[in-house]
């Protein structure tokens, strides 16, 4: 990465990392299998053909300098779930701001019992550890703020994009899912120990498995352009930090997040919906209550939705 597109000998690379030439060759082979484009061989030297769009700490750290995430970014090529990794690390004392990124997840998790399709190096699979000094009831607002953070990061990358927020925190474009967020926490009744906010963004996918074709989309499928995941991930971490800092330090933030969420969501008010896990709960949305839960006017009364998938009727 220090010598992009320059030919560099195996001996020189070996000296820099304290490895033999044959070890360098084995590492280069391993990088190639992971999708890094490297031309040449041991006798002629190696050349990084293009700077790969991998979510490496070396790429991201300089872009998120000054945030709680700088210096705490962990990158993996293949994991089960970054949320599981982050939860384990948080329980073992990982500091606030620890970020877990993977090129590929083999058991990406969604809300409920859903899976998150996590093909290699096409999406962003990111989990961050937060330790806010708030009661568990405030975590809903935090999760809404995470949705707003993704929204603004996507807009920063492409100002034509205006994804629709679906309660509690999906991002949709033309009714198809661009991003999903899974917030998990470890808490006492009155105190959060730690939170993991897991964010999956579909970035450069050109297709999805048939069962997802009608419900998922990616930035590339919408705009026709391949995007830098590094750039989007840096924008995401920066906007997440802005939202988080604002939430903890500004007494107005709570009300402001509710207002902005409603502004960016076409379904949170005045839409005939039902809740997938509880189809009996059917009615017209009436905005969010002061805690961030969805209000639905059923035939009988105003009901509060605490969880579940909202579907348009």
Q: Which residue is nearest to ligand BTN (CB)?
A: 180
| Residue closer to ligand BTN (CB basis): 4 or 112 | 112
The secondary element (H helix, E strand) that includes residue 286 is strand 278-288
The torsion angle over the Cα atoms of residues 291, 293, 298 and 300, rounded to 10 degrees, is: -40
Q: Packing angle between helix 21-33 and helix 10-17, nearest 10 degrees?
A: 90
Interacting residue ranges for ligand BTN, rule: CB under 6 A:
81-83, 105, 108-111, 114, 116, 125-127, 170, 180-182, 198-200
The span from the CA of 83 to the CA of 278, in Å, is: 26
Give the whole-angstrom CA distance, residue 281 versus residue 69.
40
Based on CB atoms, which residue is closest to ligand BTN, 14 or 180? 180
Least distance in Å: CB of 78 to ligand BTN? 13
Tokens of 79: 């994991």
Smaller CB separation from ligand BTN, 209 or 224: 209
- Supply the minimum distance, in Å, between the C-beta of residue 112 and ligand BTN: 7
Between 125 and 274, CB nearer to ligand BTN = 125
> Nearest approach, Cβ of 44 to ligand BTN (angstroms)?
40
3 state DSSP class of 146: helix
Residue 115 CB, shortest distance to ligand BTN, in Å, is 8
Return the beta strands (E) in the chain as ranges: 7-8, 38-41, 45-48, 73-79, 99-105, 124-130, 164-166, 170-173, 176-187, 192-201, 269-275, 278-288, 294-297, 302-305, 310-312
Least Cβ distance, residue 157 to ligand BTN (angstroms)? 18
Q: Which is nearer to ligand BTN, 114 or 298 (CB)?
A: 114
């Amino acid at each position: 990465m220090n010598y992009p597109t320059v030919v560099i000998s195996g001996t020189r690379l070996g000296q820099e990392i304290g490895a033999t030439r044959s070890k360098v060759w084995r590492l280069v082979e391993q990088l190639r299998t992971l999708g890094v484009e490297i031309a040449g061989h041991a006798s002629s030297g190696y050349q990084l053909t293009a700077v790969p769009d991998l979510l490496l700490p070396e790429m991201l750290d300089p872009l998120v300098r000054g945030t709680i995430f700088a210096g705490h970014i962990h990158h993996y090529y293949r994991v089960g779930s970054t949320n599981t990794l982050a939860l384990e690390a948080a329980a073992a004392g990982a500091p606030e701001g620890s970020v877990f990124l993977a090129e590929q997840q083999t058991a990406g998790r969604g809300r409920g019992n859903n899976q998150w399709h996590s093909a290699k190096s096409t999406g962003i699979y990111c989990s961050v550890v937060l330790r806010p000094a708030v009661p568990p009831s405030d975590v809903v607002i935090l999760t809404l703020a995470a949705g707003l953070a993704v929204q603004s990061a996507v807009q920063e990358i492409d100002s034509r994009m205006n994804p629709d927020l679906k309660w509690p925190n999906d991002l949709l474009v033309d009714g198809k899912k661009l991003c999903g967020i899974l917030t998990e926490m470890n808490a006492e009744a009155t105190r959060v120990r730690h939170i993991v906010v897991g964010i999956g963004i579909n970035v450069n996918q050109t297709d999805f498995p048939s069962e997802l074709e009608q419900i998922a989309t990616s930035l590339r499928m919408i705009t026709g352009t391949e995007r830098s995941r590094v750039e989007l991930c840096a924008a995401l971490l920066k906007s997440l930090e802005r939202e988080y800092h604002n939430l903890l330090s500004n007494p107005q933030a709570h009300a402001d997040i509710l207002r902005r969420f409603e502004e960016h969501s076409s379904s949170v008010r005045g839409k005939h919906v039902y809740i997938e896990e509880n189809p009996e709960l059917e009615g017209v949305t009436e905005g969010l209550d002061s805690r961030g839960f969805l209000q639905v006017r059923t035939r009988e009364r105003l009901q509060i939705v605490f969880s579940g998938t909202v579907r348009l009727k």
